[in-house]
Amino acid sequence: MGNHNKLLQFLRPVDTAGVAADDDEDPPSMAPSPMSSSASPYVMSPWVNLPGIGGDGFVSGAGNVAGDKTGLIGSLVKENGHIYSLAAAGDLLYTGTDSKNVRVWKDRREFAGFKSGSGLVKAIVVAGDGRIYTGHQDGKIRVWRSSETADGAAAVPRRVGSLPRLAHVLRAAVRPAGYIDTGRRRNSTVWIRHFDAVSCLSLDAGAGILYSASWDRSFKAWRVSDSRCLDSVAAAHDDAVNTVAAAGFDALVFTGSADGAVKVWRREVVGPRGATRHAMERVLRRGDGAVTAVAVAAEARVVYVASSDGAVTHWQFRRRHGAVGGGALPPPRNGGVMRGHKTAAVLCLAVAGRVVASGSADRTICVWRREEGAEHVRLAVLAAHTGPVKCVAVDEENGDGDGDGGGERRWVVYSGSLDGSVKVWRVSSTPDATAQTPARMTPAAASAWKRTPPSPLAAWTPYAAARRRDGECRAVV
């Protein structure tokens, strides 16, 4: 009896009901065909008649453009809130909103949708095996999987679990060492759970590890094969962690925070049982402006960092010398600053091959192409949103995604905004001569760059743009 009471005492602080409640999500739904019902919200949308929505026309700010030029292909709109996250996988596009919905689009038409029980959808990652991971405002990571219908024609995502699994939470809860101090009224929680919003997800497919970052100042590593939390760095930063990115080389992981720092971590296997741990290699950046996004061009070993002062800074990481994995990491080289958004906060980044896209609070997307060395050529400035651009994705139009060869190449850029729409763009590899921002940014420009005050993110992010911690207000995204 004494042991039973002791077990209940250990379990009492754990919100197991909240974990179990994840199974009460709304069922996924297939979207009706746009032609099947005149009452469909899709048909009633004023955007459905735009060229490019299910058609072959193209529109841009300057009107119709040729199929091989830069311009707006179409707009995807569903009246269900602001767009906070998106992910492109093959011919499918996933979009997450503040209404807890995840929409699936195919051929620029709504294809399917699913809804979580709670929590604004702040991050989406699609794995190669068909699993979909979503990070939420309520601190949970939900796992979905697409399953084909009887005729094999449609794939409907269904909830298959969450991170951490309930069994893992209960196992951690029976050990006093399994708790961490949250610094809040709720004094402690199990170490494998985030107790604040999940701000970002990043998948290291080669290592089979999913990384999650949170406003609770931590990041965690999850083994995708069994949903087990391998490691948790509880105080990775002094403020909310806004972004995490697995490098794809040298077992490195990058985290960026509202405290203005970008840290480089190395994944290590230690101990007789082969435990996974993350040791900090270096602080890549310190600054006054909050770090909002990090993106990595793995093959080129280039890391891009976006911040609230409107800058996109990039570093070139050199290969280790000597034995593989041995020795200290050589210092990275600062390649310079790309300023396509002036002083407006850069809120998101995406990389595909040599192409880099940044979305900003100024409602535009800047697209750059990396040249030899550290030079970047601006391809286009895309403007059609009426609200800040919160998320962006890039894919090469022919599907190979490398973008490193010669000749004319075209990319598809997806941008999600707080105006509630997703724009689909085509970008040519030929630089846009009509854009107003500088066409080139070289490493020499970095020495002339003067830091500007950080932009007030609270003006653009309606959800928790300013959070109070220890009596001081800090901006997070």
Q: What is the pLDDT of residue 288?
A: 82
Q: Cβ contacts of residue 90 below 8 Å, gap of 6+?
A: none
- Residue-wise pLDDT tens digits, 278-324: 999 999 999 889 999 999 999 999 999 999 999 999 999 988 765 45
Element holding 386 (H helix, E strand): none
Measured in whole angstroms, the distance separating CA 397 from the mean position of its chain's CA atoms is: 21
Q: What is the pLDDT of residue 40?
A: 33
In 91-194, DSSP assigns E strands to 92-97, 101-106, 109-115, 121-126, 131-136, 141-148, 155-163, 179-181, 188-190
- Residue-wise pLDDT tens digits, 145-185: 987 666 655 567 889 998 987 766 677 555 655 555 555 54
pLDDT at 194 over 80: yes
CA angle, 423 then 432 then 451, to 5°: 85
Domains of the chain (ranges plus CATH)? Answer: 2-475 (2.130.10.10)
CA angle, 78 then 80 then 82, to 5°: 95
- Residue-wise pLDDT tens digits, 80-131: 789 999 999 988 999 999 888 899 999 888 888 888 877 799 999 999 888 9
428 and 70 Cβ atoms separated by less than 8 Å: yes
pLDDT at 403 over 50: no
**pTM of this structure:** 0.77
Q: What is the pLDDT of residue 312?
A: 96
Q: What is the pLDDT of residue 32?
A: 40
- Residue-wise pLDDT tens digits, 404-463: 545 678 999 999 999 999 999 999 877 765 444 444 444 444 333 333 344 433 333 333
What are the Cα distances from residue 228, in Å, to 221, 253, 400? 9, 18, 32
Q: 139: which 2 tokens?
A: 């601190």
Alpha helix (H) ranges present in 123-165?
Answer: none
Q: What is the pLDDT of residue 20?
A: 44
